Amino acid sequence: MSFGLVSGIILLLINKPENMSILTKKQKEVFDFISNYEGGKGYAPSLSEIGEAIGASAVSTVHEHVAHLIRKGLLKRVKGAARSLELARLKMGTVMPIPLVGSIACGEPLEAIEESGEMIAVAEDGRYQAGELYALKAKGDSMIEEGIFSGDFLIIKKQSWASDGDTVVAIIDDNEATLKKFYKEKGRIRLQPANSAYEPIFRQEVEVRGIVVKVIRDLVHA
């Protein structure tokens, strides 16, 4: 299931909330190479060695990737050292892959389109198995009072039912998808936005494709 495919592979490395970062694929390659190199030799690689490992001929390109990792708190510079890069010693923990199937409307419902192929990696959570989760990127502002903003990544637990107050991925009408809070009322279902500027949606039938179990926000932009 997808709702407008998000381009590019994105990996989310989650430690504590203040260390939350979203890395591009190339930034993750740089981080992994530095980590493995330092683990084997006890010191960081040079910029030219990093460039050779990731296939970047320009040192300026490598410097840009490294600068992003420093800003995101994953690397730090050591003053006075010949090889001045060092891992920030974050305890990343075990991660599990989750399919990032696209984006979902937090506003007016949009047509749901079946697409796949993207993956993210998030910190392992003992409450869930990787196979029962998928990810969507929020689009719109109808859920801001629940702390869900446009651009946030939502981790969804696959299930076809919901309890009152759950935030759900709901399919209505002609295969249109929306993110709203779910309430059963007499003879109908209310899909409630978390923004007073929007009206609730009422339907006799709603297909639930999962509930939100985690919201991830990148506080540092590449």
- Active-site position among 26, 139, 180, 181: 180
142 tagged catalytic? yes
Give the residue extent of every domain in the chain.
Answer: 24-87, 95-216
Give the model's pLDDT for residue 113: 47
CATH of the domain spanning 95-216, picked from 3.40.50.800, 2.10.109.10, 2.40.50.180, 3.90.1150.10: 2.10.109.10
Model confidence over 51-95: pLDDT tens digits? Answer: 899 998 888 898 888 888 877 777 777 655 445 565 554 444 566
Say whether 180 is catalytic. Answer: yes
CB atoms within 10 A of CB 179: 29
Among 173, 182, 200, 171, which Cα is nearest to 105's?
171
Backbone CA torsion sign across 132, 194, 109, 175: positive
> Tens digits of per-residue pLDDT, 88-109?
544 445 667 788 888 888 866 6
**pTM of the entire predicted model:** 0.61
What number of other Cβ atoms are within 10 A of residue 102's Cβ? 23
The gap between the terminal CA atoms of the chain, to the nearest Å, is: 28
Q: Which of the following is catalytic: 48, 142, 158, 214?
A: 142
CATH code of the region 24-87: 1.10.10.10
The pLDDT tens digits for 118-174 are 777 777 778 888 789 988 888 899 999 999 999 888 899 999 999 999 999 999 987
When pLDDT is averaged across residues 45-50 and rounded to a whole number, the result is 86
